[in-house]
Amino acid sequence: MDYKAIVGFIMMILITVLLMKKKVSTIFSFTVIPLVAAIIIGSSVKQIGTYLTKGLAMTTSVALIMLFSLPYFMLMADTGLFSGIVKRIVSRVRMNPVVLAILTVIVAMITGLDVSITSVYLITVPLLLPFYKKMKMQPVILVFLTSLGIINTFDVPWSARMLRSASLIPKIDNGTNYLFAKLFPPQIVLTVVIFGIAVFLGLKETRRLKKLGIDAAAAAKAGGDDDDVFEEDAELVQPKKFWINVALTLVVIVCLCAFPDVPSYYTFALGLVIALEINFHDQKLQVKLLKKYASSLFPVMPAILLSGVVVGVMEFSGMMQSMVKFLVGIIPAGMGPWIYIIIGLVGTPLMFVFTNDTWYYVLMPIVIGLMRAYGVPADVVIVTLFMNMGAMLTPIAQPQLYIGTDLTNGEVDLPQYMKFAFIPIWLLNIVWIGIGLLMGTFR
């Protein structure tokens, strides 16, 4: 095995283990370990500078998107946009187990537009848990369907997952929109499947409750005041500007898709400053809010930016080429072109030993380099491995799962959720790969 390949694999394993064990921060791993690896393989200061310059150039625009998109959606949440949408939906439906299961997915998908998994659980679970209790439905279904709704918003162009993935194809302008466009056709089918799962679980609960002599629909008529569910800041909620904020958000999303030549980060920056002026004209309050939102940018935004160090060192030092050459040499010729598909099929259990950062920043670049030898484009590998659904099973990848289960007030614990969700999510992941192959997206 080539010396550079050895150092490259050790670097990859070391970053993965350190992040899994939480021995050091992500930004430390991405900043220091690649630098040490570059020194070990004998790179000069000038060469290392080149690696860093080229690598960071690949992730700068991606980091800028997060700089403006996250504050925008946090601002919209503070104005009551998401809670307002949810309240309107709940007030206009007649509850039964099937409707409630479908509604759970819808609410999770709507609140998931702010790409904060924490906020999705914080809004969806407390809002709908009273209905689950009234109808005697299993609260674990609420947490599970909320997770499916989150999975279905993984690929919005401003999500951290999409930003991470776009950093791997720097030669493609507006990589987030490009990847979203490729993922959208199979995602339509995936959305139908997810709603099918919700209907199946709703019908299953209806049958279970009927055997117990419980009329779930009648129990739901007890009602309840949903306004008390949301802990809203009275100073920030803007009910009179609800539809203005809805329109502004739709305009921002349409512009992201319709004008790919305009940098996405500028679109969000424009939307953010307009939203601030519309909702909070007071300059001191604007500064206060921006300081509040800034704390949420760390450490994810620096991690996205500094991931360029890992990619830069691996890509431009020859390390990646040596690693790929070794892997190609040991993989049977007949299996080689399908490696990325195989990894995609077993991606759910693999996420128990990966974090999101190591999946996107360590595994994906290796597989991309490997598949290049078989003529599989980088974007095809990315969209195939993008939907790492197993992340919604393990707190190593998504510690927010603790929030989702804790919000059930002791009704559901994490092991119970994991036992309930593991097989369905893995099967959904396999179905997703099958959809992509049948539609030609993953080949």
82-115 pLDDT per residue, tens: 778 767 776 777 778 999 999 999 989 988 876 7
> In the predicted model, what is the mean pLDDT of residues 24-34?
89
Instruction: Report d(CA 428, CA 145) in Å as an integer.
Output: 12
Other Cβ atoms less than 10 A from the Cβ of 261: the count is 6
What pLDDT is attached to residue 83? Answer: 75
Is the model more confident about 332 or about 24? 24
Lowest-confidence pick of 192-206, 212-226, 236-250: 212-226
Half-sphere exposure of residue 152: CA atoms within 13 angstroms, side-chain side: 27
Q: Choose among 292, 64, 97, 94: nearest CA to 166.
A: 64
- Residue 383's pLDDT is 95
If one counts the domains in the chain, the total is: 1
Mean pLDDT, range 51-70, rounded to an integer: 86
| Rounded-to-integer distance, Cα 280 and Cα 276, Å | 5
DSSP per-residue string spanning 216-243 = HHHHHTT---GGGTS---TTT--GGGHH
Whether the per-residue pLDDT at 354 is higher than 90: the answer is no
CB 370 within 8 A of CB 338: no
Can you give the pLDDT at residue 66?
80
Comparing 404 with 244, which gets the higher pLDDT? 244
Mean pLDDT (whole number) for 164-181: 88
| Distance of alpha carbon 50 from alpha carbon 30, whole angstroms | 16
Residue 298's CB is within 10 A of a number of other CB atoms, namely 10
259-263, 335-339, 410-414: least confident range: 259-263
Confidence of residue 229 (pLDDT cuts 50, 70, 90): very low
Pick the range with the lowest mean pLDDT from 32-36, 125-129, 193-197, 385-389.
Answer: 125-129
Mean pLDDT value of segment 204-208: 92
Task: Determine if the peptide bond prior to 302 is cis (ω within 30°).
Answer: no
The answer to pTM > 0.75 is no
Whether the predicted pLDDT of 279 surpasses 90: yes
Sequence-ordered list of residues with C-beta below 8 angstroms from that of 128, at least 6 positions apart, any chain = 100, 103, 104, 107, 142
| Range of weakest confidence among 152-156, 323-327, 387-391, 417-421 | 323-327
Mean of the pLDDT values across residues 238-249?
92
Which residue is it, tokens 């892997």?
A: 327
- Residues of the domain holding 398: 3-439
Predicted local distance difference test score (pLDDT) of residue 225: 52
The confidence score (pLDDT) of residue 220 equals 59
Q: Which of 171-175, 222-226, 274-278 has the highest mean pLDDT?
A: 274-278
> pLDDT value at position 217?
65
The mean pLDDT value for 190-204 works out to 97
Q: Is the pLDDT of residue 302 over 90?
A: no
pLDDT tier, 274 (very low <50, low <70, confident <90, very high otherwise): very high
Rounded mean pLDDT, 342-368: 85
Mean pLDDT rounded to a whole number for the chain: 86
Distance in angstroms (rounded) separating the CA atoms of residues 68 and 87: 27
| CA distances in angstroms from 331 to 2, 323, 341, 374, 379, listed in the order given | 16, 13, 14, 12, 22
